[in-house]
């Protein structure tokens, strides 16, 4: 297991929420003071059980008031400056994590955090340097360790939404972390499948899925010493790529230093290929990136860490909408063939898509 760098500084925002700074070069001294006048942070979320689907639904009316697509000069995730106080009470930062001001889960019902990847409003994760992306991986791992200590958190979910087409309300490069007070429906279904597979074969389902994709090769996008990226055989989304570590580990904190370094190389490569998929005229690909980690307390032996990146864009200017079959019955109908998507991403190649150095193509 790799040891993540300790936070450079931590403080409380004006309403009592926690904020934690992480630096590429530890040791930076900071004077942190949130000068805003904010009412104390209070949780307004609740969860209700749907007996028909045996699923939990979060209700968080406070989120209706969250900031929606502000201009760059009013972005709450940019650093604070003279005459302008933001969520980040510092003139600059590398990576910062803080409690969400408008959480879907709060108090005894879990926790929601925002992770800002850079103080640069105009960049994106794939344009960052490998050193910065490695720090982000370490922050995901460190925050996972922190959130599992919160009473009531049963699952930690690190994710990134990018692009207005996905539903992003803030353009600044950032992701989020949810500490769910229950196991999500997707995780429960995966674990049920893994349990049945182990009972039938004695093997781990995720290990067998990775082995099958590597053996077939036709849907593999790229490989490194410790990771493989592939389009799953039953992809639901027009563009969908999964990244699996070759060694079976339950979560991000369990990755070694070499595995984290290797992940950075492959992840930048994959994101760069995705941005080039529909050509420069289409613009950067909107996507959701989801880290699947083992639950905090149950079935950790069945789970296996993996990353899922998908996009609703099926062609330039055209989106995949969840209509009758998908929304009403949960049956996805995909207009793109996984083998063709994988072949196109392989054709793009790291050289054509960019060298992964953090610069734009």
Positions marked catalytic: 174
Query: Quick check: 9 and 31 in contact, CB under 8 A?
Result: no
Q: Is 106 within 8 Å of 15 (Cβ atoms)? A: no
Rounded to an integer, what distance in angstroms lies between the CA atom of residue 126 and that of residue 132?
10
How far is CA 197 from its chain centroid?
A: 27
Alpha-carbon span 269 to 311, nearest angstrom: 16
User: What count of other Cβ atoms lies within 10 Å of the Cβ of residue 309?
Assistant: 22
Answer yes or no: are the C-beta atoms of 93 and 174 closer than 8 Å.
no
> 74: helix, coil or strand?
helix
Print burial letters for 2-26: b (CB count within 10 Å at least 16), e (below 16).
bebeebbbebbbbeebebbbbbeee
C-alpha torsion angle, residues 177, 266, 283, 170 (rounded to 10): 10
Contacts with 137 (C-beta within 8 Å, 6 or more apart), sequence order:
252, 255, 260, 263, 264
State the Cα–Cα distance between residues 195 and 187, nearest whole angstrom.
12
The two three-digit tokens of residue 344, written as one number: 């196109």
Helix 338-353 to helix 257-276 angle (10° resolution) is 100
Ramachandran region, residue 336 (left: φ > 0; alpha: ψ -120 to 50; beta: rest): beta
d(CA 181, CA 110): 5
């Amino acid at each position: 297991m790799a040891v993540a760098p300790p936070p450079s500084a931590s403080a409380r925002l004006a309403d009592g929420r926690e904020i934690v700074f992480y630096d590429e070069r530890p040791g930076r001294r900071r004077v942190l003071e949130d000068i805003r006048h904010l009412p104390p942070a209070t949780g307004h979320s609740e969860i209700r059980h749907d007996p028909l689907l045996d699923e939990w639904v979060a209700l968080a009316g406070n989120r209706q008031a969250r900031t929606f697509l502000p201009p760059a000069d009013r972005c709450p995730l940019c650093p604070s400056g003279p005459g302008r106080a933001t969520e980040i009470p510092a003139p600059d930062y590398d990576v910062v994590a803080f409690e969400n001001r408008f959480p879907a889960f709060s108090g005894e019902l879990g926790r929601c955090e925002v992770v800002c990847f850079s103080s640069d409003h105009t960049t994106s994760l794939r344009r960052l340097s490998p050193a910065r992306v490695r720090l982000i991986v370490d922050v995901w791992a460190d925050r996972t360790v922190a959130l599992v200590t919160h009473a009531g958190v049963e699952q930690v979910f690190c994710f990134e939404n990018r692009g207005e087409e996905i539903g992003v309300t803030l353009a600044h490069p950032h992701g989020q972390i949810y500490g769910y007070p229950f196991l999500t429906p997707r995780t429960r279904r995966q674990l049920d499948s893994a349990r049945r597979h182990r009972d039938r074969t004695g093997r781990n389902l995720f290990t067998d899925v990775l082995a099958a994709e590597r053996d077939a090769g036709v849907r593999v996008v790229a490989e490194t010493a410790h990771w493989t990226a592939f389009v799953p055989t039953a992809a639901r989304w027009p563009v969908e790529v999964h990244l699996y570590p070759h060694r079976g580990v339950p979560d991000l904190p369990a990755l070694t230093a070499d595995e984290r370094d290797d992940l950075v190389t492959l992840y930048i490569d994959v994101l760069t290929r995705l941005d080039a998929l529909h050509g420069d005229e289409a613009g950067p690909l909107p996507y959701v990136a989801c880290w699947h980690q083992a639950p905090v307390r149950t079935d950790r032996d069945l789970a296996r860490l993996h990353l899922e990146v998908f996009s609703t864009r099926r062609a330039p200017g055209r989106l995949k909408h969840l209509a009758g079959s998908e929304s009403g019955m949960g049956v996805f109908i995909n207009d793109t063939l996984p083998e063709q998507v994988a072949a196109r991403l392989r054709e793009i190649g790291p050289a054509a898509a960019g060298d992964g150095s953090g610069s734009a193509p």
